């Protein structure tokens, strides 16, 4: 089944960053330290964080609007340029003076990452009041929380959730969060949350070592924070979805040789959100997201996945 997401409008709010790659080769070790001497052969930049979520959504066919902030610097300019060139709405990304755009520079030698240099400054950013049009203009809202400060204010979550519940006629029905905070109080009342196992363990303070403990931890989040579904990302072990009324589904993993998991969570939440907005079927949405993640981790570095890649991939498994 080929899905068309051209009628799905998504609002992405979160921490926008840029990933810069230096791809090189090495044939000797440094005499100064036990590290390779890398000779750069290629450099390129890709949107990271919430930017990677937006890129994945757009390449899957959705209409995407971004809300967040970047620095008034060359990296912020580059990030905006890439997003705009893809047809992503960036009018609500604020440019801030004297603040660096979050930057992750990865150095690869002979196809393997050997170093990463991060530039960042946590910001307590206050979003402008724009909530009056959310419920009628978007089908789904993604909160891409990398804990860099855009989503620091718990009152913002309450405001956004309230805006999505204004009336049954409103278009927006689903708020999905990719969490990074240890304290999930911020996420109280969202519809779907997508923690990895480390995030799930920290949030619940429960030891997680098998599917049974994953289910118990997810149920704890559902009960404590009034969440409809917890989509637990298990890496190479697939996905477990836990919902209200004892709903549990285990999504089997796809085998990928030498996976590069950089940004895979961004692909998962992008795919999950638009399929759920289209079908309201959480199990199918998780299977679709799982397939999209398998394609992403088979690529080097931060990677976006197109709708054609996913459709072709799914066909090969059916």
How confident is the model over 29-65, as pLDDT tens digits? 999 999 999 999 999 999 999 999 999 999 999 999 9
**Structure letter (DSSP) for residue 253:** P
Active site residues: 266
Task: Give the model confidence (pLDDT) of 165-208 as tens digits.
Answer: 665 566 788 999 999 998 899 899 999 999 999 999 999 999 99
In this structure, is residue 147 part of a structural domain?
A: yes
As for how many domains the chain has, the answer is 1
In total, the chain counts a number of residues equal to: 318
* 75 domain-assigned: yes
Q: Measured between alpha carbons, how far is 100 from 17 in angstroms, rounded to an integer?
A: 10
**How far apart, in whole angstroms, are the C-alpha atoms of residue 265 and residue 54?**
12
- Do 228 and 192 contact (CB within 8 A), yes or no? yes
Mean pLDDT of the chain: 90
Is 130 within a domain? yes
Q: Which structural domain, as residue segments, surrounds residue 67? A: 9-15+51-100+122-316
Report the CATH number at residue 65.
3.40.1190.20
Task: Answer yes or no: is 32 within a domain.
Answer: no
**Structural domain contains residue 116:** no
Helix (H) or strand (E) run with residue 309 in it: helix 307-316
- Evaluate whether residue 94 is within a structural domain: yes
In tens, the pLDDT along 76-108 reads: 999 999 999 999 999 999 999 999 999 999 999
Task: Please calculate the CA angle 9-15-18 and round it to the nearest 5 degrees.
Answer: 100
Run of H or E residues at 12: strand 9-14
User: pLDDT confidence of 254, banded at 50, 70, 90?
Assistant: confident
pLDDT at 130: 62
What is the band of 299 on the pLDDT scale with cuts at 50, 70, 90?
confident
What pLDDT, on a 0 to 100 scale, did the predictor assign at position 13?
94
C-beta neighbour count of 128 within 10 angstroms? 8
pTM to 2 decimal places: 0.92
């Amino acid at each position: 089944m080929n899905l068309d997401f051209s009628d799905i409008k998504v609002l992405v709010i979160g921490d926008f960053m840029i990933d810069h790659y230096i791809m090189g080769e090495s044939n000797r070790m440094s005499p100064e330290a036990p590290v390779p001497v890398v000779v750069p052969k290629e450099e390129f930049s890709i949107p990271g964080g919430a930017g990677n979520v937006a890129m994945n959504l757009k390449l899957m066919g959705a209409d995407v609007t971004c809300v967040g902030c970047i620095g008034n610097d060359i990296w912020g300019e580059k990030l905006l340029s890439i997003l705009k060139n893809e047809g992503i709405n960036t009018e609500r990304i604020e440019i801030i003076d004297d603040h660096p755009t979050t930057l992750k520079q990865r150095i690869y030698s002979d196809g393997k990452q050997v170093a990463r240099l991060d530039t960042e400054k946590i910001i307590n950013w206050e979003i402008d009041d724009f909530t009056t049009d959310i419920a009628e203009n978007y089908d789904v809202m993604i909160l891409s929380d990398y804990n860099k400060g855009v989503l620091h204010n718990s009152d913002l979550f309450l405001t956004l959730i309230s805006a999505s519940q204004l009336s049954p006629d409103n278009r927006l029905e689903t708020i999905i969060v990719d969490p990074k905070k240890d304290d999930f109080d911020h996420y109280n009342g969202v519809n779907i949350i997508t923690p990895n196992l480390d995030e799930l363990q920290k949030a619940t303070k429960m030891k997680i070592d098998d599917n049974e403990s994953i289910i118990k931890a997810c149920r704890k989040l559902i009960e404590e924070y009034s969440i409809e579904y917890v989509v637990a990302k298990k890496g190479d072990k697939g996905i477990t979805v836990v919902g209200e009324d004892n709903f549990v589904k285990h999504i089997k993993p796809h085998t990928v040789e030498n996976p590069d998991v950089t940004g895979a969570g961004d692909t998962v939440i992008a795919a999950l959100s638009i399929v759920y907005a289209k079908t309201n079927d959480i199990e199918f949405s998780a299977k679709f997201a799982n397939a999209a993640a398998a394609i992403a981790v088979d690529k080097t570095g931060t990677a976006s996945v197109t709708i054609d890649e996913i459709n072709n991939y799914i066909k090969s498994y059916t």
